Structure 1
């Protein structure tokens, strides 16, 4: 992900990640319980820049095409009575504003005020911000923990949570640093979905070696939240895993066959929490059926997975 860019996403790291990929024949995922269609995965070279699917009349999911970015990030649009919330804007190379405005118009909400917020500040989640810069009645929340905390009313980051009232629809904002300093998850009680960003998704869960404890603490807080809130599904920022358990795609393709489903059941929170609890003396690259822990040193020069976080 662009989460590693500038320092970590080097040629050496890409080569290392490719070693984690296996190349067995594609296995089809089971039918989705959430979405009517399988997501576009770059098979059609003429597929649109965004594939849009509806969860309900006021909740939409947009996937950016692999043909525009290997990240293929997911964006989420939630409509309230007074404003709409867009969670993430994707990677550079596409125009999310046109898609969002078309969805608002088609649903009878043309011109609805919009809040653009992000699960975190990595480039593949904020790359489309510029397209909203001159949109009327639009707030673009900044990318730092301070920006997010101030906007949603979090007094003590990351211990406290915040909220955003869209009008007849109030969502909870849960600080979850570890993957990124400003990472949050957004819980929608209407759909009982936790929009989990890059903290939990069917893919490679990246974190710097010395952030494992911070990441684990974030997961524990979300697990506590889940004790009093029904979470049916987690929808994350990407799909990187194959339908074949424990296997992931590489980062160099523009088309995929046999992708894992986007949605993870609420029980996946416990699976990821348990994976972090089992790290032991130091985190190492470890595949699980629906995700992969991928710790990495801040500077990977001269080091390689899976044990590149091992103390000297």
Structure 2
């Protein structure tokens, strides 16, 4: 089901910042810090959501506290100093797990001594080489910012150095002592995407496989790797069937941290409708389709 409506940009709307501040954050416990770039929220079960509302990506990293150590799920944009911030929140040893290798999730990997990412050729290549100034320049323009970045951030030198890393596999257990996080490979958005399932605490950390916003399923280039809508649907179907019945919380990596598990099934149905050509969409000037659903959208190639 097509639509003749045209839009300028399916990904970055001209009024994207009008959604800020998001009302859902009013219900969460904010932790005051001296770092003005991040907003930090205490979530149930010893988890901190570390939100970057000043940039279009609105990325959220998670500090997951365990008895023996803490896991930082992603290191954000590399605009603010997340290394300093997380060490002010806990005195535990902190290890990094990347939900995937896109630039907005690995920005400060290089500052940490232990990083793990899913074993995938694109992810390995990305962390081995990092991101250059040229690759990131469009993400450092004024149009991408809703507030002034830190004084020590310079758009003209914004880049991400390579880092050393270990490899994760589907089914691996990340043991924090009193809590265990199961690695679930969920390709579709990217080939290296994972979720972390905290079974005992009934939490699913979704990475970019689901969040309340535009889900990107249109990538096919070296910078982002390759998305695949059929594989994406299969990942969501597996999560909906095998994991959602056993969780109370979705902790998502963009826009709003705490979401209802039922949304995974809604996203699964949405992708099925797209593949069955039963969903309406708009096409933008670059040839991308945007399908809007209740609480999220899906971006594909036309």
Bigger mean CA offset, 217-226 vs 267-276: 217-226
TM-score, structure 1 length as denominator?
A: 0.66
2:110 and 2:217 map into 1 onto residues whose CA distance is 27
Q: Does 2:293 match 1:288?
A: yes
Say if 1:178 and 1:212, in contact at 8 Å, map to a contact too: yes
| Cα distance, 1:17–1:188 mapped onto 2, change above 3 Å | same
Query: How far did residue 32 of structure 1 move?
Result: 5.8
**Among candidates 262, 265, 273, match of residue 267 of structure 1:** 262
Q: Does 2:243 match 1:226?
A: yes
- Secondary structure at 1:208 match in 2: coil
- Output the aligned Cα RMSD: 3.4
Q: Does 2:57 match 1:82?
A: no
Corresponding residue number in structure 2 for 1:170: 180
User: For 1:91-118, what per-residue CA distance to the aligned partner results, in whole angstroms no more than 9, with x for missing partners?
Assistant: 12111100111001xxxxx2x3222011
Corresponding residue number in structure 1 for 2:28: 35
Gaps of 5+ in 1: 1-13, 40-45, 105-109, 133-137, 155-159, 240-260, 297-307
- Secondary structure at 2:189 match in 1: coil
**Among candidates 91, 105, 120, match of residue 125 of structure 1:** 105
User: For 1:208-261, what per-residue CA distance to the aligned partner results, in whole angstroms no more than 9, with x for missing partners?
Assistant: 3771001011111111222652x222122211xxxxxxxxxxxxxxxxxxxxx4
Residue pairs, 1:1-312, within 5 angstroms: 15-17=8-10, 35-37=28-30, 48-56=36-44, 58-66=46-54, 69-104=55-90, 110=91, 112-132=92-112, 138-142=113-117, 144-145=119-120, 151-152=167-168, 154=169, 160-208=170-218, 211-226=228-243, 229=246, 231-239=247-255, 261-281=256-276, 284-296=289-301, 308=302
User: For 1:191-211, what per-residue CA distance to the aligned partner results, in whole angstroms no more than 9, with x for missing partners?
Assistant: 422111111101110013771
Query: How far did residue 161 of structure 1 move?
Result: 2.5
Query: How far did residue 70 of structure 1 move?
Result: 2.5
User: For 1:19-54, what per-residue CA distance to the aligned partner results, in whole angstroms no more than 9, with x for missing partners?
Assistant: 86779x869866569623599xxxxxx981111111
Greater share of strand residues, 1 or 2?
A: 2
Say if 1:144 and 1:181, in contact at 8 Å, map to a contact too: no
Say if 1:95 and 1:131, in contact at 8 Å, map to a contact too: no
1:275 and 1:38 map into 2 onto residues whose CA distance is 36
2:53 and 2:20 map into 1 onto residues whose CA distance is 21
Query: How far did residue 190 of structure 1 move?
Result: 4.4
Corresponding residue number in structure 1 for 2:129: none
Say if 1:286 and 1:294, in contact at 8 Å, map to a contact too: yes
Say if 1:96 and 1:131, in contact at 8 Å, map to a contact too: no
- Secondary structure at 2:10 match in 1: helix
Gaps of 5+ in 2: 1-6, 125-165, 220-226, 280-288
